Structure 1
Amino acid sequence: MTLYSHRRLPLDPAKVDKDFECLVKELGLSEEKQQEMHDYSMEKKMSLLVSQHCLQTEDASHFIGFLKNLQQSFVIDSNTIRQLQDLVISLRTQNFSYLESFLSASGLKLLTELLNQCHQQYTLEQPALFFLYALRALLNSPNGRAAVLHDEQHVLVSIARAVDFRDFKCKTGNTLLVFSLHFFTFSLILTHKSIVLSSDKLLFSSNNPRGHCNEDLI
C-alpha cells in the first residue's frame, strides 16, 4: 500500500474500497464490526489506510530480538519498560500478518517464560504487568487465541501465578493482583475450556518477602 504514504495523491475510489476490504480482513474483526467499517466514508477509509501503512513499517523481529535479549540479561530499567510499552501498543494495533509473524517467532513462548521469571523476585511486579498486558493483547486476536489454546496449560498457569505477587502495599502489586485475577477469568472464558491448577499455583504464599516497593506504575 505504498500509495497511501502520500495522502494528496488522487486515488481511484474502487481501488480504495478494494484495499480497504483487504485491511478489514487483515484486522480479524467480528462480522458486525466489519460491516460497520464498510459503511465508513471514503475519507475515513483513506485515513485508516494511511495509518495502517505507517504501522506496517514496523517489524515484529525487533520485539522478538528485544524479548530474547531480555530473557538472557533480565535487566529492568526505564528503557526496558518503554520498549515493553511499545510492544503492548504494537500487539494491540498491528494487523493479522504482524501478529502471525510475532507468534511464529515464538513470541507467545517468550512472553510466558519472561512472566515466569518475574515470579522469582518480588521487585518485578511492574514488568510482569506489561507481560500480562501483552498476553491480553494477543487474546484479542483470532490467531492469538488459537496460539493460547494450543499451549493453554503453560500460558494460563503462568497468568494464574501472577496472583501470587509479593507486596500488597505496592501500587504496582495491587494493580497486578486485580488485573491478573480479571485477566485469568477473561482468558478462561475466551478459551471456552477449564484448566486444572494445583493449589500451590494459586494460593498466596505466607513466606513471600514483603520488601518495600518504590517504583511507580507507568
Structure 2
Amino acid sequence: MLLLAIKNLLNLIINVTTTTKTNKTINSSSLNSSIYQQQNNIESIEQTFLKILSDLDLNEECQAELISQPLEWKWKVIISGNERQKQKENIKEGGGDYYAKYLEKLLLNIEEEEEKDFVIENNLVIKKLEGLAATLRTESFSWLEQFLGAGGLEMLQRLLNKCNSRGSSAELIALPLLCSIRALLNSTIGRHWVQESAEALKSVAWALDLQSVRCKVISLEILSGLCFCAEFGHRAVLKALTQVKLLRGERTRFQRLIDDLFKEHGNTPRDTARVRLALMSLINALLKGGAAEHSLEYRIHLRHEFLMLGIVQVLEQIRSAAPEGSGSALDDHIDLFEMMRQEDEQEMQSTTTFDSGSASPIDFEILQ
C-alpha cells in the first residue's frame, strides 16, 4: 500500500507539472520522441532517475519498487522535476535558504518591536508560515538540507520562543511554527536535526503553556513521536521537560502534564478529550520508549514521578465523568497505562534489587 501511494503521488506530480498554462499536456508520442531526441542514452536516464530518488529519502524497498518502473515513466518523472525546478527559479522562492532568510527577517522585525504588543495581524505572514509547514512535508532531501543548513530550525525555535513569552496573543503564529517542526519529523534529516537541538525541543515543551488546543496537541505529538526515535530521542524529550520546568518555576518536570490532564480545555468536551488523549499518548510513550522499554528499574522510577503528582486520582476522575460504555481512544490509553503499571508491579515483586518507594527522581544519564 505504501509503495502504491508513493507511485500514485509521483504520478500526480507528473500530471500537474507537465500541464502547460493552456492546460495542454505533453502527449505520449511527443514524450516518446523527446526521450530519444534529448536523452537517447538509457544509462543516462537511469542515473538521472536515481539522483531524483536519492532526494525522496525513501527506504531501500521503496527505491527498488520505483527503479523497476518502465523507462517512459521514469522519463516523465525527470521532466516533472525539471518543470518544478524552473517554476521555483522563476518565482525565486523555491530554495530552502529563501525560507530560512524569510524567518530570520521576520524574527528581526519582531525583535525591533519588543516594546510593543506582539500581535501578528498580517494574514500574509500567517499564510507564508502555513505554506512553509506544507512545503516541509513534501520537499526533497536536498531542499530540507538547504533549509536546515541555513539556520531554518534555529529561526523556527527562536520565533516560537517569542510566542511562548507572549502567550495567547501570539498563538496565530505559534501554530504554523509548531506544524513546521512537526513536518521536519517526516524525514530522516529533519528528525536528526530536531532531536539534536536541545533548544528546539525545550521551545516545543514550553509551548504547552499556550492555551490553544491545537498548539498543545501538536507540541505533545512532537514530543511523543520523538520518544520512539531511538534511545536518544527519548532522552532528549526528558531533558527538554526537565529544563522547561525552570522557566515555569515548577518543582517537578511532569507537573504541567498532570495539571493539563486534570483541567478542561477549549470550548467543548471534544477539545478537552483531544488534549487529554495527546497527554496520555506522551505519558505512555515516556514509559515505553528509549531506555524504559527494556529497564524495569527505569520505568518504575519514571512512573513514580507521575504517581507522586496524583495521576491515579486524575485518571479515576476522568473515568468517572465519562458516560458508561463510551469506549474511546482515551480510555484505551488509560487502560494501557494501568496495564503496564500492573505488569511492572508483578515483575517488581520478584526482585528486591532496588527500593521501589524511593521518592527521588533517578539519574537518567547514569541508568542507560
Q: How far apart are 1:107 and its partner, in Å?
A: 0.8
Tell me which residue corresponds to 1:34.
63
Distance in structure 1 (CA, Å) of the matches to 2:185 and 2:75: 28
SS at structure 2 position matched to 1:127: helix
How many residues are matched? 198
Normalised to the residue count of structure 2, the TM-score between the two structures is 0.48
The answer (yes or no) to whether the contact 2:136–2:184 under 8 Å persists in 1 is yes
Distance in structure 2 (CA, Å) of the matches to 1:37 and 1:133: 29
Tell me which residue corresponds to 1:146.
192
Tell me which residue corresponds to 2:49.
20
Q: Residue by residue, what CA displacement relative to the aligned partner does 1:102-125 show, whole Å, maximum 9, x if unpaired? A: 111111100111111111231222
Q: Structure 2 matches for 1:36-75, cutoff 5 A?
A: 36-56=65-85, 57=88, 58-74=94-110, 75=120
More deviation in 83-92 or 48-57?
48-57
Normalised to the residue count of structure 1, the TM-score between the two structures is 0.77
More deviation in 136-145 or 111-120?
136-145
Structure with higher Rg: it is 2
Tell me which residue corresponds to 1:108.
153
Structure 1 residue runs of 4+, over 6 Å off?
none
Distance in structure 2 (CA, Å) of the matches to 1:59 and 1:145: 20
Q: 1:111 to 1:145 in 2, by over 3 A?
A: same
Question: Once superposed, what is the RMSD of the aligned Cα atoms?
Answer: 2.9
Q: In the alignment, is residue 180 of structure 1 matched against residue 219 of structure 2?
A: yes
Structure 2 regions of 5+ residues with no counterpart? 1-16, 21-25, 89-93, 111-119, 268-368
Q: How far apart are 1:174 and its partner, in Å?
A: 1.8
The letter for the 2-side match of 1:144 is G
Q: In the alignment, is residue 165 of structure 1 matched against residue 204 of structure 2?
A: no
Higher RCO (C-alpha under 8 Å, 6+ residues apart): 1
- In the alignment, which of 126, 136, 152 is matched to residue 182 of structure 2? 136
Q: Residue by residue, what CA displacement relative to the aligned partner does 1:119-172 show, whole Å, maximum 9, x if unpaired? A: 123122232121112112222222222222332x21211111222212xxxxxx
The answer (yes or no) to whether the contact 1:91–1:99 under 8 Å persists in 2 is yes
The letter for the 2-side match of 1:24 is L
Distance in structure 2 (CA, Å) of the matches to 1:101 and 1:165: 30
Q: Residue by residue, what CA displacement relative to the aligned partner does 1:159-204 show, whole Å, maximum 9, x if unpaired? A: 11222212xxxxxx22222222122111232253213223337627
Distance in structure 1 (CA, Å) of the matches to 2:151 and 2:201: 16
SS at structure 1 position matched to 2:209: coil
Tell me which residue corresponds to 1:156.
201
Distance in structure 1 (CA, Å) of the matches to 2:81 and 2:162: 34
Structure 1 regions of 5+ residues with no counterpart? 167-172, 213-218
Distance in structure 2 (CA, Å) of the matches to 1:162 and 1:76: 20
| Larger helix percent | 2
The answer (yes or no) to whether the contact 1:55–1:94 under 8 Å persists in 2 is no
The letter for the 2-side match of 1:100 is E
Distance in structure 2 (CA, Å) of the matches to 1:69 and 1:48: 35
Q: How far apart are 1:43 and its partner, in Å?
A: 4.1
SS at structure 1 position matched to 2:145: helix
Q: How far apart are 1:22 and its partner, in Å?
A: 1.1
Tell me which residue corresponds to 1:98.
143
Q: 1:39 to 1:65 in 2, by over 3 A?
A: same
Q: In the alignment, is residue 81 of structure 1 matched against residue 110 of structure 2?
A: no
SS at structure 2 position matched to 1:192: helix
Distance in structure 2 (CA, Å) of the matches to 1:30 and 1:127: 34
